[in-house]
Amino acid sequence: MSRVIALCFLFLAAVIGFLHIDSRPVWAPFATNTPAPAEVELESPVNLKSKNQNTPNKVGIANPISTWLPETGAASVHAASLIALKDGAIRAFWFAGSREGAADVVINSAVFDPKSSSWSAPTVVMDRVSAEKGLSRYIAKLGNPVPARMSDGRLQLFFVTVSIGGWAGSSISSVISDDEGLTWKNPQRLISSPLVNLSTLVKSPSVLFADGRLGLPAYHEWIGRFGEFLRIDAGQVIDKRRMSSGRSAIQPLVFVNDAQDATAYFRQTRGASQAKQVPVSQTQNAGQSWKLTTDLAIANPNSALTGLELNNGTRILVLNNIETGRYRLVLMMSNSKSGAWHTVEVLEDDEALPDDQRKEFSYPYLMSVDGNDAHLVYTWDRKKIRHRYFSGAWLKYAQNQLPILPTDPLYQEAK
């Protein structure tokens, strides 16, 4: 009976939402930056055919930098994210507390100085009490901070709040900063449904529309588990569209291909008998409608993934490329011609350890300062947040080591 009542509420909310569509602003295309052609340094055909897919030999190139986000004294940390600041520094966000979902969880922030490769002392952006005061409603727990840069240059931080129940009872709130995250205005709750504003969560970075509004990939976990695409104007949801259906795909990561076309990769939440791969959805009208397509044939153990497109068109992914567990985390790169994905760096791997000794490496998040480099953060055994920096030179070298398949035009040119 409770499920029937819930379905009735959802149906009514959908009807009310549909009646408001005509009053919403015209849907804009994606904002795009045409990438430069990917440079591939060709070798002899013999060497091309025998390329090694393991970690490249980075002779003369600085190895990736590895640091830890500052300790806060909390027993558990999770869900880190990053954004570039105007002065070239990096601001990180993550939540910390006695455990995930506990009442003492707070959202922290710290700034990475690339010149000294060091992090500032952590500060608290939001705690449960501050969220309650700002939102004028009871808040049981906080989670999943995701920053964005608004069209006017200000920072906006989206985060998940729960008033009752588990994560399925969540909604998204946000705060805005005029000074690069030093101070924050009062939080506002995003209303994604005019009636039942429940079960909307966020994990992945936003994308930008040509009109300056944000497209925020979100997901739903109450009754169904599916992706949603929210069109955001400052603190207001002005439209949302379903990206997947059923109970099998959450936490969408969006790659914009052109002004109308984008691809979304999901964390799979499928049943035991279904493929443990990365679900994929496609839009050809700038996010107004989405259609599930063929899976990305990379293993996914019901764990979040992150990705990034560089200025030259090369795409990278970080994920747990195993079907069960989160004890292995890898950096993958896509061949710009064939689209095939290859592992270029094993970041963490506890496969050789007994099951009870394996650590969890999860919830990766990628961003770039200049479009050529990459900063990565991820949860390290729920006790720390690890930060890795890959220079543009390192990523270019890794790209040049990708195997070129016989079907690629470059392979034929090199023969």
Q: What pLDDT, in 10s, does the model give residues 287-299?
A: 999 999 999 999 9
Helix (H) or strand (E) holding 128: helix 128-135
Output the CA torsion 79→85→89→90 (10° steps). Answer: 10
Task: Decide if 48 contacts 411 (C-beta within 8 A).
Answer: yes
Rounded to whole angstroms, how far apart are CA atoms 120 and 206? 25
Q: How far apart are CA 359 and CA 368, in angstroms?
A: 27
User: pLDDT by residue (tens digit) across 116-174?
Assistant: 999 999 999 999 999 999 999 999 999 999 999 999 999 999 999 999 888 888 999 99
Domain ranges for the chain, please list them.
Answer: 37-62+304-415
Contacts of 83-88 spanning 24+ positions with Cβ under 8 A: 83/147, 83/148, 83/149, 83/155, 83/367, 84/367, 84/368, 84/369, 85/111, 85/180, 85/181, 86/153, 86/180, 87/180, 88/114, 88/369
- At 155, the amino acid letter reads L
What confidence score (pLDDT) does residue 50 get? 32
- Residues 106-119 have pLDDT tens digits of 999 999 999 999 99
8 Å CB contact between 408 and 337: yes
What is the structure's pLDDT at 48?
29
Residue-level pLDDT at 57: 53
pLDDT at residue 38, as a whole number = 44
Average pLDDT over residues 37-59: 40
Rounded CA-CA distance 88/86 in Å is 6
Q: Smallest Cα–Cα separation from 365: which of 209, 144, 120, 118?
A: 144
> For the chain, how many helices (H) and strands (E)?
5, 26
Which amino acid is located at 224 in the chain?
G
pLDDT given at position 146: 98
Quote the pTM value: 0.89
DSSP 248: S
Instruction: Determine how β-strand 155-162 pairs with β-strand 236-242.
Output: unpaired
In single-letter form, the type of residue at position 31 comes to A
Residue 135 tokens, joined:
């939102």
Tokens of 197: 């504003």
Query: What would the DSSP string read from start to end of 306-347?
Result: EEEE-TTS-EEEEE--SSS-S-EEEEEEE-TTT--EEEEEEE
pLDDT of amino acid 59: 60
Going by pLDDT thresholds of 50, 70 and 90, the confidence category of residue 268 is very high
Neighbours of 110 (CB within 10 A): 21
Is the distance from CB of 145 to CB of 123 less than 8 angstroms?
Answer: no
pLDDT at residue 399 in the model: 93
H or E element, residue 262: strand 262-268
